[in-house]
Amino acid sequence: MPLWSSALLALLSLFVLLFAIAAHLQSRRRAARLLYQRRLEVALSDGTLTPEEIAELEGLRLAKDLSQMEVRMVARSIYRRALRTVLNEERLTPEEDRALLELQAQLGLTDRELQDDHLQLSRLRLLAQVDAGQLPEIDAPIALVPHERCHWVVQATFAERIGPMRAGEMRGIRLSASGTEPFRVDGARDELRPSESILPVDLGILVVTSRRTVFQGAKRTVSIPHARVDTIVLFRDGLIPEEVGGHTRGCLLVDDAELTAAVLQQAARKRRAEIRPVRPGKSA
């Protein structure tokens, strides 16, 4: 066998050996992280990490030669699993919110470490607050009348319906602007944009105040008093406010249609209650 062939074979054998050693070490570290994760989950099962459990976990970390970065990765994995359950439900109860805060504290995770996760959680928190009647108050990009408050501002596209609607086209969820039932969007929703019956005509902002919903674009301004809104038809990428008598001004395409509809529904209900307060013994 030529000398160069022997050298090449030796190099290949060394490479295979090093690869096998690296794979074995990596497998051992995965097993160690999994063991640490299981022990941590057991310790958290009663909702409290005792000093004794913390000491045992630190002993396990040292024995398995796990770095602080590795155990924090395990902690984030446990937190994200709990968060994923809440996100899949698309609703956040006060009990679930408290449980997530307690879990974060028990795991010793900072807000900075969970920055990306908290963006999703903040949306659910805001949706829960709106559903409970706590509307945000922000600076208004348009002129307001005395005692009018601004609750919501988003970029929006104003679109018009053109031509007749085909049967089964554009399924949406109808939300009543009156009543007291919780905000729920269970059911099928289509997107407005692919429909040939929807024509985008203007780009601007959508403003929801305590008295009205305003679209202000480059070509037009449309203002719909809350007192005239009867139903909000919610789609995946937008909504259509239907006024009393079934009249509509157009379609509003927005990024977060669900949250926008929740704010609009709650603002309209509050305005209706201000104009027509519920009498004792009567329902809204």
**pLDDT tens column, 25-47:** 466 677 887 887 888 888 887 77
Q: What is the pLDDT of residues 90-126, one digit of tens each?
A: 788 889 999 899 989 888 899 988 988 888 889 999 9
* pLDDT value of residue 7: 60
Residues ≥6 apart with Cβ < 8 Å to 276: none
Closest CA to 168 of 185, 190, 198, 187: 190
Res 15 pLDDT > 50: yes
Q: How far apart are CA 144 and CA 20, in angstroms?
A: 71
Q: 253 forms bridges with which residues in the sheet? A: 157, 238
Q: How far apart are CA 96 and CA 208, in angstroms?
A: 29
CA angle 137–139–141, rounded 5-degree value: 130
Domains of the chain: 3-131 (no CATH), 150-275 (2.30.29)
Q: What is the pLDDT of residues 210-237, one digit of tens each?
A: 999 999 999 999 999 999 999 999 999 9
Q: What is the pLDDT of residues 240-252, one digit of tens each?
A: 999 988 888 899 9
Residues ≥6 apart with Cβ < 8 Å to 145: 211
Across residues 68-79, what is the average pLDDT?
88
Across residues 7-19, what is the average pLDDT?
59
pTM for the predicted model, two decimal places: 0.76
Across residues 155-176, what is the average pLDDT?
81
> Burial level of 230, CB count in 10 A (0-12/13-18/19+)?
middle
* pLDDT value of residue 282: 47
Q: Is 242 helix (H, G, I), strand (E, B) or coil?
A: strand
Cβ atoms 262, 183 nearer than 8 A: yes
Cβ atoms 211, 264 nearer than 8 A: no
* pLDDT value of residue 24: 47
Res 169 pLDDT > 90: no
Q: How far apart are CA 190 and CA 49, in angstroms?
A: 46
Res 3 pLDDT > 70: no
Closest CA to 259 of 69, 122, 157: 122
